[in-house]
Amino acid sequence: MPEIDFWYSIGSTYSFLTVMRLPDWCRKHDASVRWRPFDVRQVMQAQQNVPFVGKPQKTAYMWRDIERRAAKYGLRARLPAPYPISDLSLANRVALMGMSADWGIGFTRALYRLWFEDGVEAGSTEALTEALHRAGQDPMPVLARADDPSTREALDAETAEAVRQGVFGAPSFVVRDELFWGDDRLDDAFSWARVGHVA
Amino acid sequence: MPEIDFWYSIGSTYSFLTVMRLPDWCRKHDASVRWRPFDVRQVMQAQQNVPFVGKPQKTAYMWRDIERRAAKYGLRARLPAPYPISDLSLANRVALMGMSADWGIGFTRALYRLWFEDGVEAGSTEALTEALHRAGQDPMPVLARADDPSTREALDAETAEAVRQGVFGAPSFVVRDELFWGDDRLDDAFSWARVGHVA
């Protein structure tokens, strides 16, 4: 079965649902998913895609929808979480570094827990430092390396690849060049990977 | 079980999926749904909610997503359908008139078929006339009455009621003051009606 690319950005609210339920979901479905952090803010600004800022009704609905779905998935959440986050690029650069090693998923999940369970803004130094600790990393050298030009270029390259694959928001799934947008399309993406259509 | 309000607008692309699958879905689930046409364009313009115009990537995805889901539901569709439609208000005023009689659902489904199967723009006189014929109505007196101030006021009142219920897009479902947005939230709405949470 082809692998599913899971494009997400720390800073995306609906990505919380996928980030938290995906490991159990993969075990249950015997599926393999590749976690790919990118900078969704850069993409959405370039495409003039502004889903929530200045839209109070839609924003209120987003939190309520996430609350109901978190309950469905058995996820703890204290909502609304601080939003939007200040520095989206740094958090995703750190996540991308972690994906080249073995701590990227653990870091991402720890950071979402801090953001959605404890109300600590995910772009803050406090949240990044604590999430790195929880992922077994020494924060200071990691955060220093996250500012290297090579790390910035690596995230830019991943973001460009996401755009090349048609990604315009997060979370998204891509399988065999087929794009699925939203946590609620995970089953569609899996069906596409298995049988080539949405069942 | 409390009734589900189905808020839709002729002119909304994703409403196609719900409009076409809802009668079978209701029979299968022994559910009762109240069809409520409103003017989603008026609501979205007031809320500066512009999902597709000027967003080619998101628009391309929307058609592909609808295509995949139409196939899943066994619906015929020739995509992309003409979009956006010219006159959204008139079509929904006619649909609202039909809901006070017994031909509103038949008219709506006939019009979506013309729009999504045959490529006839749903706001056009040609499409409205043909859909009224298929719904067993004499088009000329209906279209004349659709321009009455009382008919305009009736659609404005329904649109105001949708906004009061928190609706910001179409299709939406409301059950016990709980809002669900999108064709893909129909099962969530039904679960809410049955057991008060999203199962």
pLDDT digits (tens, 9 = 90+) for B51-100: 777 788 999 999 999 999 999 999 999 999 999 999 999 999 999 999 99
Which of A9, A12, A15, A89 is labelled catalytic?
A12
Check pLDDT > 80 for residue B33.
yes
What's at A78, amino acid-wise?
A: R
**SS3 helix, strand, coil % of chain B, rounded to 5?**
55, 10, 35
Task: Say what the pLDDT of residue A45 is.
Answer: 85
Q: Which of A7, A43, A61 to mutate to test the interface with B (most CBs of B within 10 A)?
A: A61
Name the average pLDDT for chain A: 95
Q: Where are the alpha helices (DSSP H) in B31-148?
A: 40-46, 56-73, 88-100, 104-116, 125-134, 139-146
Contacts of B173 (CB under 8 A, 6+ apart): B4, B5, B6, B7, B33, B179, B180, B185, B186, B189
Closest CA to A174 of A193, A195, A199: A193
More confident residue, A1 or B12: B12
Distance CA A113, CA B116 (A): 43
CB < 8 Å to A198, chain B: 68-69, 71-72
CB of A27 within 8 Å of a chain B CB? The answer is: no
Largest Cα span, chain B? 47
CB of B179 within 8 Å of a chain A CB? The answer is: yes
Cα of A119 to nearest chain B Cα, Å: 24
pLDDT band at residue A156 using 50, 70 and 90 as cut-offs: very high
As a whole-number percent, the residues of chain B with pLDDT over 70 amount to 100
ipTM of the complex as predicted: 0.93
Find the CB nearest B48 among A47, A55, A60: A55
pLDDT tens-digit map of A35-90: 999 999 998 888 777 777 778 899 999 999 999 999 999 999 999 999 999 999 99
Residue ranges and CATH numbers for the domains of chain A are 4-195 (3.40.30.10)
Q: Which residue of B has its CA nearest to A64?
A: B179
Q: Which residue of B has its CA nearest to A192?
A: B68
A89 counts as catalytic: no
Task: Say what the pLDDT of residue B54 is.
Answer: 79
Contact A166 B57 (CB under 8 A): yes
Name the average pLDDT for chain B: 95
Closest CA to A128 of A114, A118, A141: A114
Cβ proximity of A20 and A78 under 8 Å: no
Check pLDDT > 90 for residue B2.
no
Distance CA B78, CA B80 (A): 6
Is the bond leading into A171 cis (omega within 30 degrees of zero)? yes
Cβ proximity of B18 and B6 under 8 Å: yes
Q: Which residue of A has its CA nearest to B56?
A: A47
Q: For A57, which DSSP code?
A: H
Token representation of residue A55: 């839209």
CB of A68 within 8 Å of a chain B CB? The answer is: yes
Check pLDDT > 80 for residue A143.
yes
Burial status of residue B167 (CB atoms within 10 A of its CB: 0-12, 13-18, 19 or more): buried
Contact A72 B197 (CB under 8 A): yes
CB < 8 Å to B52, chain A: none
Check pLDDT > 90 for residue A123.
yes
Find the CB nearest A61 among B64, B168, B198: B168
Cβ proximity of A44 and A162 under 8 Å: no
Triad A18, A24, A27: Cα angle to 5°: 125
Task: Say what the pLDDT of residue B12 is.
Answer: 96
Token representation of residue B146: 């659709």
As a whole-number percent, the residues of chain A with pLDDT over 90 amount to 89
